[in-house]
């Protein structure tokens, strides 16, 4: 039997506002292959200039599911720390971030880092979500130049 009605509406009249809580309203994604030299040795978070995506929520009660994937490596003593920045606000709410690579100074330490969080922007204004990185230590951290980095956001109907 074919589905012809959602929330007692015909399919032709269903809008995002009529979808049940938890429905995916929209999806935005950006994938890039970082160029050589995408590195940081800053002690404070800096937003990566190319790993970002913007979304305009259709309702202030909706949530944004953010997923970011990047390959990082650390050269020299310290930690490479990754987080997700929403228009100037770190989503972890902490200085440690979501992802962490450690090197003792003798080798390069590298790995795939994935960050996922559910954000409540409480607005219908456009928001930009970006990869943010910083280094805790004396070494240099890199967003690997030979791997694809992706950031994807999904607007989820909320209540």
Highest mean predicted confidence (pLDDT) among 25-29, 30-34, 94-98 = 25-29
Kindly list the distances between the CA atom of residue 133 and the CA atoms of 17, 82, 105, 115, in Å, as whole numbers in the listed order. 36, 4, 19, 12
Altogether, the residues listed in the chain come to a count of 159
Residue 101 within a domain? yes
Residue 76 within a domain? yes
Residue 12 within a domain? no
CATH number at residue 122: 2.60.120.760
pLDDT band at 3 (very low <50, low <70, confident <90, very high): low
Residue 140 within a domain? yes
- pTM value is 0.82
Q: Comparing C-alpha atoms, which of 112, 106, 102, 113 is closest to residue 74?
A: 102
Contacting residues for 21 by C-beta, under 8 A, at least 6 apart: 157, 158, 159
Can you name the residues that pair with 66 across neighbouring β-strands? 117, 153
Contacting residues for 71 by C-beta, under 8 A, at least 6 apart: 110, 111, 112, 113, 143, 144, 146, 147, 149
Q: Comparing 103 with 142, which gets the higher pLDDT?
A: 142
Residue 2 within a domain? no
What pLDDT shows up at residue 44?
A: 86
Total domains in the chain come to 1
Residue 94 within a domain? yes
Q: pLDDT (tens digit, 9 = 90+) per residue, 109-152?
A: 778 888 899 999 999 999 999 999 888 888 888 887 668 889 99
Q: pLDDT (tens digit, 9 = 90+) per residue, 28-80?
A: 999 987 665 577 778 888 888 888 999 999 999 999 999 999 888 888 888 88
Residue 3 within a domain? no
> Is 150 within 8 Å of 68 (Cβ atoms)?
yes
Residue 136 within a domain? yes
Per DSSP, helices labelled H in 11-128 are: none
**Range of 68's domain?**
21-156
What pLDDT shows up at residue 77?
A: 82
């Amino acid at each position: 039997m074919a589905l012809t009605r959602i929330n007692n509406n015909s399919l032709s009249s269903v809008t995002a506002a009529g979808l049940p809580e938890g429905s995916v309203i929209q999806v935005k994604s950006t994938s890039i292959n970082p160029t050589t030299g995408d590195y940081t040795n800053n002690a404070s978070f800096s937003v990566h200039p190319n790993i970002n995506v913007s979304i305009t929520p259709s309702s202030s009660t909706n949530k944004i599911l953010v997923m970011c994937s990047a390959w990082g490596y650390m050269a020299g003593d310290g930690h490479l720390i990754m987080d997700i920045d929403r228009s100037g606000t770190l989503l972890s709410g902490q200085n440690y971030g979501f992802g962490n690579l450690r090197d003792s100074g003798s080798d390069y330490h590298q790995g795939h880092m994935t960050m996922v969080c559910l954000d409540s922007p409480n607005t219908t204004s456009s928001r930009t979500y970006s990869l943010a990185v910083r280094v805790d230590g004396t070494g240099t951290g890199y967003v690997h130049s030979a791997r694809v980095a992706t950031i994807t956001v999904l607007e989820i109907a909320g209540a």
